[in-house]
Each structure stands twice: as structure tokens, then as C-alpha cells.
Amino acid sequence: MDKRVLELHGLWSSRATRWAPRRHGMFGTKGQQCGVRWLGSSSSSAMNCTAPAAAVAAAPAAAKAAPYLDDAAQLIKSVETFIFDCDGVIWKGDKLIEGVPETLDMLRRMGKRLVFVTNNSTKSRKQYGKKFETLGLNVNEEEIFASSFAAAAYLQSINFPSNKKVYILGEVGIQKEMEQAGINFIGGPEDADRKINLEPGQLMEHDKDVGAVVVGFDRYINYYKIQYATLCIRENPGCLFIGTNCDAVTHLTDAQEWAGGGAMVGCIKASTKREPLVVGKPSTFMMDYLSNKFGISKTQICMVGDRLDTDILFGQNGGCKTLLVLSGVTTLKTLESPDNTIQPDYYANGLSDLLKLAKPVV
């Protein structure tokens, strides 16, 4: 990626070392301090993992609630690419959401490019390809972009040095993407059973060659991992703190919501007093990557998701059309709440609304 492009998005500093990103300030409303740095986000649209009360109080008044999508044919006609979130849009846990296969088939028949973007870092693109296949969906690996891939792509974009390592607080998806990118790493699932014997005078050693810590969703997080990541970030000069996402909840099963990757990122943020560089939604890093890879104009993209503060903001930050579906996290009550300041262009009950509403004109 061109250095000038990286510098524009805050990913490169000509005054820093070759691989170190710009140490820009926190984003947020004027006079407020936010709790995370979203790669590629502008100051007016960035979000934070844990916004201070003052920042919430200073938020703009809620906009008029988005309209229900009653002309799917027109929306489909107006764009060439649909980007879909996965959890809550395509599936919940390991259960496919009703009407999804037929809707995707219809869009492909109409010549639309389909891309699937997820903040879930537990799987690699190849592993997600197998999940799509298991659910009976024909999706190419090149159409899948997970935050695990985004973390590796970001490190490649800043020329992360070959003599440095990444410590992974996360699952196998991040490992596989680092391996695919040729980036040295340690940690991950291998540290799941490690324990610390806290005897008097106990000193924990860590690898001084770790140049970045990548924190993603981790069902096996423990005190060893927390301390190791903390030591690397606090004691290794120039060590990067990268978060795959700051999602509060995730859909591990279709029965309820579970604590998301933001819980793990927040843990390391608290212990290091450092702000993470977030590569997943709503950062525009993945959007820029996709636009460049496929040669897509962002105005010709519709982002479809179930979360306002990640999916819809991701689309808005990228200058795309946005469609919220109510099949996942966000309810109609939340969308229409006076406290909600993020409004999509349209909302629908689920992805299959595209099929039902567009059918007469297909």
C-alpha cells in the first residue's frame, strides 16, 4: 500500500520508524476524549469502546428514525456490491437465518458482487469458508474478510519487520492469518492452560522481540495471557496494541448474547492504560482494503448489518449506503430510541426482505 495513502488514514508517520504507525491523538467530539483509535476513521465519526459520560452527554440529538425498506428493487439497482456482516445477518451461532440462501442466490443472479465481513476473529478466512459450506452456502474464500485477516493485513501494510513477533491474545483464526501472511507469532491457544505461580519475588519473563500484541475474542482468556500481553505493551519499546474489534456482545449460540471481543480488548486497555488500534468495524481499514482490492466505488456499495455502532457506522464511515436488519442485536425499539444517534439509510426485518420485496420486479 502506498505510504501517502497510509499517512492519509493515520497508519503511517514519516517521522516514525519504518513500521511504527502514527501516534495520533484520540478521536471524538470536540473537547472530549474517546477510548480507542479506529484506523481510517475521521474525528466526527469515530466511536470508542467505553465512552466517558461527558462524551455521551455531548452527543448530537437523535436523527429522524430510518425508514423501512419498501423498495428493495431500487436499492438493489442502485449498487453493484453488497457487504454483509455474518453474525446476526447470515447466521446466529451455527444456525442459518431463514431466507438467506434464496436471497443470496437472487442477488448473484442479478450480477451483484457479494462480500462477507465479520468482526469475529476466532476463525481464518479458510475456516469461515468451511462454515459457509457446512451451512449450505456457496461462498468463495476471496469473498470473506474477518478481523483476524484485517489484523494481519494491517501489519503487512506498515511493513512489520521480519525480526519482530506478534503476541496473540486470541484464538486460532488470528494464528492462521499471521501464518498465511508470513508474520512471526507466539501465544494464542497454546497459552490457554498456562498458570502463574504467585510466590514471593515471582517475576514473569516475556519475549523482548514482541513488536505487536493482537487482542481478539478469546474464550480461553486467563491471567497468564493478560499479564504477558501487558508486559509486552508496557515494556517493549514501540510495541503496538492492536484490537480486532470492540464488540460488546457476540452470538456464540442462537439462544442468547455472549460477551464479545470488546471484553478482552478492554481488559488489556485497562492494564496498560493504552488505547488500541482497532482494525475491525467500524474502522474503515477493511473498507479501504476491499475498495482497492476489487476496484469498487464506495458509493456503489451497500453495507448490511445488525449493529448500529459497528456495521452501520462502518458503512457510513466508508461513504456507502446502509441497511440495518433486525435479525440480530439491534431491535426496532433501539433504532427508534431518542438516545440513538446512528441511523441507517433503511431498515428491514431480515435479509430475506430483499427477496420478498424485490421478487415482483425480478
| Residue 139 CB neighbours (<10 A) | 20
Cα gap 171→189, rounded to integer Å: 6
Asked if residue 341 lies in contact with residue 60, where contact means CB atoms within 8 angstroms, the answer is: yes
DSSP-based helix, strand, coil % in the chain, nearest 5: 35, 15, 50
Burial class for 26, CB neighbours closer than 10 Å (0-12, 13-18, 19+): middle
- Which residues are 324's β-sheet partners? 305, 347
Peptide bond connecting 161 to the previous residue in cis, omega within 30 degrees of 0:
no
Known active-site residue 80: yes
DSSP 110-178: TT-EEEEEE---SS-HHHHHHHHHHTT----GGGEEEHHHHHHHHHHHTT--TT-EEEEES-HHHHHHH
Q: Are strands 240-243 and 113-118 parallel, antiparallel or unpaired?
A: unpaired
80, 102, 257, 336: the catalytic one is 80
The residues that are catalytic are 80
